[in-house]
A and B are shown apart, each in its own frame.
Chain A
Amino acid sequence: GAVVSQHPSWVICKSGTSVKIECRSLDFQATTMFWYRQFPKQSLMLMATSNEGSKATYEQGVEKDKFLINHASLTLSTLTVTSAHPEDSSFYICSAFSLAGADYNEQFFGPGTRLTVL
């Protein structure tokens, strides 16, 4: 199956700093990538949809100025958590979705990034 990587796998930062998380599709071109946030013992909450070459579409309640998403190429999307605070501590997971040649809608998940803000 298709492989999606995420980097870093975990990060600890001080309150007020910014953190960048990378999501890469390693063996296919991802026209669309999704970013999710998952708090402990909760479900995956869709934050935004990232399409290559265009602005991301954010879900209601997600601050676009705080969670900056860039999808500059068909294999890379980045999520930057700006001015991170302890309440931003969470498990961030990306997924990639390709329409090219696909006859179904399967998304491929990255391994996730554990963010802890002190």
Chain B
Amino acid sequence: GENVEQHPSTLSVQEGDSAVIKCTYSDSASNYFPWYKQELGKRPQLIIDIRSNVGEKKDQRIAVTLNKTAKHFSLHITETQPEDSAVYFCAANFNKFYFGSGTKLNVKP
């Protein structure tokens, strides 16, 4: 099955700085790569996604890049704010979704 690795496990940044979270996947058939934000005790919320026929996608302060050859994709958050503090998960999908191990982002005011 698919194996998704995510780094770092924790990330602490100062408000206004950028944050980057990286994921790698193993199954070249995976064609959809969503990123989720999860607050404690709540469901994951989709924040951005990218399909395998696209290399980059941006939505305001959030962007995702995909390198199919290297099988890795990254989440970029610019101008971070304290409310961005949460756990972020990447996932890779072909017919099923496999999640990375998560990154706890702490944005310090």
Contacts and interface: CB of A to CB of B under 8 A. Distances in A.
User: Are A and B co-members of a single complex?
Assistant: yes
Interface of A: 34, 42-46, 49, 59-60, 91, 93, 95, 104-107, 109-112, 114
B96 A34 contact: yes
23 contacts: A34-B96, A42-B102, A43-B100, A43-B101, A43-B102, A44-B44, A44-B99, A46-B97, A49-B96, A60-B1, A93-B43, A93-B44, A95-B97, A104-B49, A104-B51, A105-B31, A106-B34, A106-B46, A109-B43, A110-B43, A111-B42, A112-B42, A114-B41
Contacts of B99: 43-46
Contacts of B41: 91, 112, 114
A99 to B, nearest CB: 10
B43 A107 contact: no
B34 to A, nearest CB: 7
Nearest to B34: A106
A105 B96 contact: no
Contacts of B46: 106
Contact of A109 (B31, B44, B93, B101): B44
A59 B41 CA distance: 24
A110 B42 CA distance: 9
Nearest to A9: B41
